[in-house]
């Protein structure tokens, strides 16, 4: 029986993607990359975005997949609420800029930007999706809330997209409430 439990535990570990992330309080790595909003490409710079307010940086595995599309739709619906609290939402994936231009129009509904997560950014944010000990070339579904000082204020890493919007919005609200004190 003990051996069966050990084997079952080992199989469970293999089947679950590794999900590491930057710890709360860590300095968010600064970066610049290509992005698109409403189908228009532009240069995104995290430092510049933070000058305007907190940033919700959410990594997702692949544009136009079911969970990623539903997550983008949910962030699009919530974008006005994020803006009310001064936060900018940016989706990150390793998709090419042409795909992101279409995705920003069709699934992000012209509400927020999506940006290219190149291998350097993925590594800096510990956002690689790893299965069976191998990098899949995709990004883990991980959402960060980064405060204006560039520190990670909140992190949620879960392949299920359903709680990312709710939890990041709550973290943004908490940031604003703490700033008013």
At 139-165, the pLDDT tens digits run: 999 999 999 999 999 999 999 999 999
User: Three-state SS for 29?
Assistant: coil
C-alpha span between 181 and 164 (Å, rounded): 26
Number of H helices, E strands in the chain: 6, 9
In a domain, 85, yes or no: yes
| CA proximity to 159, closest of 64, 22, 18 | 18
DSSP string, 73-104: HHHHHHHHHHHHTT-EEEEEES--HHHHHHHH
In a domain, 5, yes or no: no
**Domain harbouring 87, CATH code:** 3.40.30.10
Which tens digit of pLDDT belongs to each residue from 107-145?
A: 999 999 999 999 999 999 999 999 999 999 999 999 999
In a domain, 1, yes or no: no
Mean pLDDT on 41-54: 98
**Structural domain for 169, as ranges:** 17-179
- pLDDT above 90 (res 93): yes
| CA proximity to 26, closest of 149, 120, 129 | 149
In a domain, 68, yes or no: yes
Q: How confident is the model at residue 17 (pLDDT cuts 50, 70, 90)?
A: very low
* Per-residue confidence (pLDDT) for residue 12, from 0 to 100: 35
Total of domains in the chain: 1
C-alpha span between 136 and 147 (Å, rounded): 30
In a domain, 60, yes or no: yes
In a domain, 21, yes or no: yes
- pLDDT above 80 (res 81): yes
pTM more than 0.85: yes
In a domain, 7, yes or no: no
In a domain, 119, yes or no: yes
User: Three-state SS for 47?
Assistant: helix
């Amino acid at each position: 029986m003990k051996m069966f439990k050990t084997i079952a535990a080992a199989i469970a570990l293999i089947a679950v993607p590794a999900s590491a992330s930057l710890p709360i309080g860590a300095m968010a790595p600064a970066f610049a990359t290509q992005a698109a909003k409403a189908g228009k490409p532009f240069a995104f710079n995290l430092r510049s975005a933070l000058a305007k307010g907190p940033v919700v940086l959410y990594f997702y595995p692949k544009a136009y997949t079911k969970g990623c599309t539903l997550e983008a739709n949910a962030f699009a619906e919530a974008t006005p609420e994020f803006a009310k609290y001064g936060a900018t939402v940016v989706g990150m994936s390793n998709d090419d800029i042409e795909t992101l231009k279409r995705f920003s129009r069709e699934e992000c509904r012209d509400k927020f930007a999506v940006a290219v997560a190149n291998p350097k950014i993925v590594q800096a944010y510990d956002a690689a999706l790893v299965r069976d000990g191998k990098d899949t070339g995709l990004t883990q579904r991980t959402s960060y809330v980064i405060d204006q000082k560039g520190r990670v204020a909140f992190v949620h890493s879960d392949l299920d997209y359903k709680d990312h919007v709710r939890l990041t919005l709550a973290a943004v609200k908490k940031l604003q409430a703490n700033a008013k004190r």
